[in-house]
Structure 1
């Protein structure tokens, strides 16, 4: 069942007005001061039920599970050592992102940026690589020409999207959903004249850097008006790629095997049955549960009795959902997750909300302490214009970010115990303390993260420029993808398996879906509270 926004759960504008008028005598239990009382300073407390479910999302109630291998390690990778972890409740898309969804994204980018020659690159960089369908010894040109844009494939999962593009889609989706919420609540009106830097961004709006077409502001107790704030609970958290742990937890759907507070049995696939890939239900007995390669050369069975009824991908609502109501968590397309790949991540990661890939950032500020917004330029991760592989890291309208650093006193890194650097991708697996030279002083500058997964071309162990280094396939740009695909055997449908790919590469069997954190109670409305 498709998830839609439940407006009853939102902190409504007019409900807020009524609350401010009727609950002015509510007092603080720790100070005795009135809430929403202008004579007391006007500290505002608005009504709030709980987080509403964003469009396309399904609530995944979290808990503990054993992450990692449940099947034989036939490749002897030793990269999925079982470990018990706890996952907080979160939201995840019911299906993979469709071609139609991605075309909506491209349409918006084209409308906002493509009219300006300088910013056309934003649209160009978002285009999926349709050439991934080509093969030296196969005729796949029809998919190159038609798969992304032909309406026959509009409900099929988008492919040819790399990790960077998938992450950028999540940023765009966050802003479009929150913009719609403000319009739905009567705070803003539609602004079809948005262009370049003048477009809605959630962080920019909350920082007071975006106005939009104002329809009705939030009233203050003193009779003045203001914009929506984070404290109002109206706007949703960010969409993002799911972490590897979140994706795996959601894929198994072990909530369906929960009886009286315990998991009755584990699963190999997202459904019960130790090694069965066929439906055991009497009505559908023998039907394949997912879209995968049966054996060499058999992608969909024989004419007149197609087994999975899909030669390549299938529409995103094909086959049976798991016990969370999620479709195609086993196959159809493999899916990007947020984590950076390390073979031994399971030995190092936290047992609560595990994730490798943190690069801590903060908003950049001007001389007056105001938040900086990118307005008329594109920002790259490498200032060298001759570098064709440099990545676009910001576009007009977004809040400009920087890595936290010990050089900035306001970051207070010298006083922190939980982290000392912005980039923690290599922590305990690739940084200085995990290298052979851990007893010496850590290097500074661009070489501080070259301990394990990059090595010098020259044999001499001397300080040489970073460009003289080569790297293994396992590096800070390699990200994990999970699940099987239409081109995989059944082994890769086991959610505990994992593979990796460079963040700039794409494939015709690789797509993605989005996730969102759950704030507040891990249980949804209607769930019996303990």
Structure 2
């Protein structure tokens, strides 16, 4: 009997300890949740937070007009181990193509290509969601489907060849983004000028819709170089499997940013479908400071990502794909671009932070931006509009490319290009901000280097 009493008392204490009743203590809204661990994104490496001297380390007076040395601190983040490749960007293009085709087919086959209600809650989707489980039969014998998909192809009078070709002008991606900078400035004016007649803005006014054609400009190989035979590259570079693991080019800054938005939605939608899935932070282009910190690879004052003052290793081999010597392009092993990850990585295990293709950053270009920005996560940015002058559309590019001399490969060298301009020597890579603890980095990291 005594033994039974002890068992009863133990059960009461156990139930009381597991109770969710209000005890009057401050326990937060999620007292029993598991600790958050940020999964390691596929193909990315972790860049720790740190502080470094951003800008030139020499005594070049003319150079220091654009690059004033400044000690800055940067938060940790994940960064793509290589530049985005043709094959990876093609996944974006194909997704846009298929989403447009499903929208078209949804008009004639809504049960097959659209999801109008949530199967669990019965909630009606407005507009309906696309059903990605139903495959698109591009060679369907159904005349209705053939007629509907016909608008995805070039008109017969515009086809170079007899076979059908997708009209790349119709590959339009639409997304929304929130202009937090404009919202913050308006809020600041309202807070610092109370009682004045300041126009009130609704939250929706800061939400902007962007529509952009996502297909790369394949003609850049001709337009970038006068009197040079690069014609075969226009037809093969983006579409041929031989160049799958080469860095994508012909992508302007707007397209690179749209890719980051799509990649964010792709991952977050997949995470939301998993049991207990957590929406992660966004993918985006790196700021100029983040890019330089990552490119340095832990080295503070060395001019190149691999450290040291030279572009060759101890065996005399070039360490990047650029324009060496007096223009001997093949001396480094590549005539134009080369497969990503071909040269040794830097101290953070990042490949091609110098050479191969220059890379877009999130930052707008201004000669004095180093002096204007803060010293913690510095960034100068400007959301240029279509009717803005060209000087307002300049975006910073870093790293140098296959056509540049060694000076542009240095981690401190700044250059710019216009955000609506595509080039055969500019690509990009994404970052994902680090939110918190990560579990099993080394075990979960997946590399996408193609030697």
- Residues 292-325 of structure 1 show CA distances to partners (whole Å, capped at 9, x for unaligned) of 1013331012xxxxxx211111111110000100
Answer yes or no: is 1:289 the counterpart of 2:319: yes
Task: Measure the CA separation in 2 of the matches of 1:133 and 1:23.
Answer: 70
The residue that corresponds to 1:323 in the other structure is 347
Task: Measure the CA separation in 2 of the matches of 1:34 and 1:269.
Answer: 50
Q: Aligned-pair distance for 1:50?
A: 2.1
Give the counterpart of 1:32 among 25, 29, 36: 25
Give the counterpart of 2:246 among 131, 156, 163: 156
Task: Measure the CA separation in 1 of the matches of 2:246 and 2:30.
Answer: 50
Q: Aligned-pair distance for 1:74?
A: 8.5
The residue that corresponds to 1:81 in the other structure is 68
| Structure 1 residues 362-381: aligned runs within 5 Å | none
| Structure 1 residues 74-153: aligned runs within 5 Å | 76=63, 78-114=65-101, 116=104, 120-122=170-172, 125-134=213-222, 135-153=225-243
Task: Measure the CA separation in 2 of the matches of 1:357 and 1:156.
Answer: 29
Task: Measure the CA separation in 2 of the matches of 1:43 and 1:328.
Answer: 43
Task: Measure the CA separation in 1 of the matches of 2:16 and 2:379.
Answer: 45
The residue that corresponds to 1:225 in the other structure is none
Q: Aligned-pair distance for 1:54?
A: 1.4
Task: Measure the CA separation in 1 of the matches of 2:399 and 2:345.
Answer: 15
Q: Aligned-pair distance for 1:516?
A: 1.0
Q: Aligned-pair distance for 1:235?
A: 2.0
Give the counterpart of 1:510 among 426, 439, 449: 426
Give the counterpart of 2:375 among 316, 328, 351: 351
CA contact (8 A) 1:336 1:482 kept: yes
Larger Rg over CA atoms? 2
- Using structure 1 for the length normalisation, give the TM-score: 0.57
Answer yes or no: is 1:46 the counterpart of 2:39: no
Q: Aligned-pair distance for 1:66?
A: 0.3
Q: How many residues align?
A: 325
Answer yes or no: is 1:277 the counterpart of 2:311: yes
- SS in structure 2 opposite 1:173? helix
Q: Aligned-pair distance for 1:97?
A: 0.1
The residue that corresponds to 1:486 in the other structure is 402
Q: Which moved more, 1:75-84 or 1:347-356?
A: 75-84
**Could you say if the C-alpha distance between residues 296 and 27 of structure 1 is closer, same or farther in structure 2, counting changes exceeding 3 Å?**
farther
Answer yes or no: is 1:246 the counterpart of 2:290: yes
The residue that corresponds to 2:268 in the other structure is 178
Where does the alignment leave 5 or more consecutive residues of structure 2 unmatched? 1-14, 105-150, 153-168, 174-211, 443-451
**Could you say if the C-alpha distance between residues 47 and 509 of structure 1 is closer, same or farther in structure 2, counting changes exceeding 3 Å?**
same
Give the counterpart of 2:302 among 267, 278, 293: 267
Task: Measure the CA separation in 1 of the matches of 2:61 and 2:408.
Answer: 11
Q: Aligned-pair distance for 1:474?
A: 2.8
The residue that corresponds to 1:215 in the other structure is none
Q: Aligned-pair distance for 1:520?
A: 2.9
| Structure 1 residues 385-396: aligned runs within 5 Å | none
Answer yes or no: is 1:68 the counterpart of 2:50: no
Task: Measure the CA separation in 2 of the matches of 1:162 and 1:22.
Answer: 61
The residue that corresponds to 1:460 in the other structure is none
The residue that corresponds to 1:375 in the other structure is none
Task: Measure the CA separation in 2 of the matches of 1:343 and 1:43.
Answer: 47
- Residues 43-99 of structure 1 show CA distances to partners (whole Å, capped at 9, x for unaligned) of 664212421111221110011100011356596472111100000111110000000
**Could you say if the C-alpha distance between residues 34 and 164 of structure 1 is closer, same or farther in structure 2, counting changes exceeding 3 Å?**
closer
CA contact (8 A) 1:27 1:33 kept: no
Higher helix share: 2
The alignment yields a C-alpha RMSD, in angstroms, of 3.0
Where does the alignment leave 5 or more consecutive residues of structure 1 unmatched? 1-20, 36-41, 188-217, 219-227, 229-233, 258-264, 302-307, 360-380, 383-389, 391-466
The residue that corresponds to 1:449 in the other structure is none
Task: Measure the CA separation in 1 of the matches of 2:268 and 2:337.
Answer: 31
**Could you say if the C-alpha distance between residues 25 and 105 of structure 1 is closer, same or farther in structure 2, counting changes exceeding 3 Å?**
same
Task: Measure the CA separation in 1 of the matches of 2:358 and 2:406.
Answer: 12
